[in-house]
């Protein structure tokens, strides 16, 4: 049972980056306007995410790290097809507590006194403490008890770099929040509430931000770079579906490039940040535990909307 538990937890948390993604998504689900991420040792020593969101009430906090305990499913029998929150499985905190030592301090704004949960393996303790409103989650000593898992981890520098990219993607897709990422005590990324262009400035610098155009058409919102700011690589094409950054299917990248029509030399890709709203029943985020892959029921339709929105943005701003 012990081994089975660790294997199941490993499906959700196989590296520090998974912990960051899950904790950040919890903070977003909690309605936070300020999210601060801290790493030590590439996240293997410590991942901490602090938010000023809704907190967890004292009367339900003992469930937070219990497997399959989630506060997010609507009492609708088909609720899993209609999720609007990023989380809904109730496995992330549980998995983090299997893979490492979980510490959580939380207080809803209206509650007097905060709760502290410490969880590791089967052991959970809950106590009272004091804290500002919101939630701070720490995961320490990830995989310390799992030498085989530890051996397959990337170096701390590599992991920190990939986590920086991940947090950057959240900043790009949620530019209206305060964000901060600290790596081994040094600020890597800070962002104050702004629009998409401001987020591009925080993540890629002012030069890139000065060269983007707004895309604002129906369910497609964000920015694309002007054609002259193009590169022969696609690592700056970012898409989200209903607030969750996704690993874009090639069809979506192609749709953006087609939106530029002949303005874009062959083989180069623009920078873009595009947030897509899709009716919850038209996408299924449940494809992979890491959830970065989403199945869009109507990919051709969504692609057409992306292509038209990009073309409209370019037409609106003659070059």
Q: How far is CA 203 from CA 109, 209, 210, 211, 216, in A?
A: 31, 9, 13, 14, 21
Burial label for 68, CB within 10 Å (0-12, 13-18, 19+), is exposed
Stretch near ligand ADP under the rule CB under 6 A, chosen from 64-72, 188-196, 270-278, 283-291: 64-72
If one counts every other C-beta atom within 10 angstroms of the C-beta of residue 158, the result is 11
Q: How far is the CB of 182 from ligand ADP (least distance, A)?
A: 18
Cβ–Cβ < 8 Å for 129, 114: yes
- In a 3-state reduction of DSSP, which class is residue 203? helix
The DSSP secondary structure of 43-78, one letter per residue, reads GTSEEEEEE-S----TTTGGGTTSTT--S---SSTT
Residue with the CB atom nearest ligand ADP in the bound state: 87
Closest distance to Mg ion from the beta carbon of 54 (Å) = 13
CA distance 135 to 57: 11
# residues near Mg ion by CB under 5 A: 3
Q: Which CB, 288 or 317, lies closer to ligand ADP?
A: 288
**Rg, the chain, Cα only:** 20
Which one of residues 70, 115, 138, 303 is an interface residue with ligand ADP (CB under 6 A)?
Answer: 70
Nearer to Mg ion, 227 or 289 (CB): 289
Residue 293 Cβ, how far from ligand ADP at the closest point, in Å? Answer: 17
Over the window 259 to 288, marking each residue x when it contacts ligand ADP by CB under 6 A and - when it does not, the resulting string is ------------------------------
Residues paired with 40 in a beta bridge: 46
Of 36, 38, 91, 253, which lies in the binding site for ligand ADP, with binding defined by CB under 6 A?
A: 91
- Binding-site member from 43, 87, 103, 156 for ligand ADP (CB under 6 A): 87
Q: Which does residue 34 bind out of Mg ion, ligand ADP, none, counting CB within 5 to 8 angstroms by kind?
A: none
Residues 87, 168, 285, 289: which binds Mg ion (CB under 5 A)?
A: 87
For 146, list phi and psi in degrees, rounded to 5.
Answer: -130, 75
Given Mg ion, ligand ADP, none, residue 116, with its beta carbon under 5 to 8 Å by kind, binds none
* Stretch of residues binding Mg ion (CB under 5 A), selected from 51-59, 82-90, 121-129, 177-185: 82-90
From the CB of 89, what's the least distance to ligand ADP, in Å? Answer: 4
φ, ψ of residue 293 to 5 degrees: the values are -95, 125
Task: Specify the stretch interacting with ligand ADP by CB under 6 A; choose among 67-75, 186-194, 225-233, 237-245.
Answer: 67-75
Q: What CA–CA distances, in Å, run from 265 to 83, 219, 268, 270, 313?
A: 40, 27, 6, 10, 18
DSSP 94-133: HHHHHHSEEEEEEE-TTSSSEEEEEEETTEEEEEEE---S
Could you tell which of ligand ADP, Mg ion, none binds residue 54, using a CB distance below 5 to 8 A set by kind? Answer: ligand ADP
- What's the CA gap between 123 and 117, in Å, rounded? 10
Convert residues 16-45 into a mask of x (bound to ligand ADP by CB under 6 A) and - (unbound): ------x---xx--x---------------
Confirm or reject binding of residue 138 to ligand ADP (CB under 6 A). no
Q: What's the token pair of residue 228?
A: 């002259």
Name the minimum Å distance from CB 245 to Mg ion: 15
List interacting residues with Mg ion (CB under 5 A). Answer: 26, 87, 92
List interacting residues with ligand ADP (CB under 6 A). Answer: 22, 26-27, 30, 51, 53-56, 64, 70-72, 87-94, 135
């Amino acid at each position: 049972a012990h081994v089975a538990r660790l294997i199941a937890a490993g499906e959700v948390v196989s590296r520090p980056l998974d912990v960051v993604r899950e904790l950040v998504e919890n903070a977003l689900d909690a309605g936070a306007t300020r999210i601060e991420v801290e790493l030590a040792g590439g996240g293997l020593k410590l991942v901490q995410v602090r938010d000023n969101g809704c907190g967890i009430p004292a009367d339900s906090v003992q469930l937070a790290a219990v497997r399959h305990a989630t506060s997010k499913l609507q009492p609708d029998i088909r609720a899993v097809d209609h999720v609007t929150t990023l989380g809904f499985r109730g496995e992330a905190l549980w998995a983090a507590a299997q893979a490492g030592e979980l510490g959580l301090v939380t207080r809803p704004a209206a509650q007097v006194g905060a709760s502290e949960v410490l969880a590791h393996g089967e052991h959970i303790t809950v106590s009272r403490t004091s804290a500002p409103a919101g939630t701070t989650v720490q995961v320490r000593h990830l995989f310390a008890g799992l030498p085989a898992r530890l051996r397959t981890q990337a170096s701390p520098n590599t992991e920190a770099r990939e986590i920086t990219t991940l947090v950057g993607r959240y900043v790009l897709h949620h530019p209206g929040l305060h964000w901060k990422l600290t790596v081994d005590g040094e600020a890597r990324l800070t962002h104050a509430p702004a629009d998409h262009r401001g987020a591009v400035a925080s993540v890629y610098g002012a030069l890139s931000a000065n060269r983007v155009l707004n895309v604002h058409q129906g369910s497609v919102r964000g920015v694309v770079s002007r054609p002259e700011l193009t590169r022969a690589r696609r690592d700056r094409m970012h898409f989200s579906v209903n607030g969750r950054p996704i690993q874009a299917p090639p069809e979506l990248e192609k749709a953006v490039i087609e939106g530029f029509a002949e303005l874009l030399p062959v083989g180069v890709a623009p920078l873009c940040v595009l947030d897509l709203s899709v009716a919850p029943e038209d996408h299924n985020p449940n494809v992979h535990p890491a959830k970065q892959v989403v199945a869009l029921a109507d990919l051709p339709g969504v692609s057409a909307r992306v292509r038209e929105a990009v073309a409209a943005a370019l037409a609106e701003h003659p070059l």
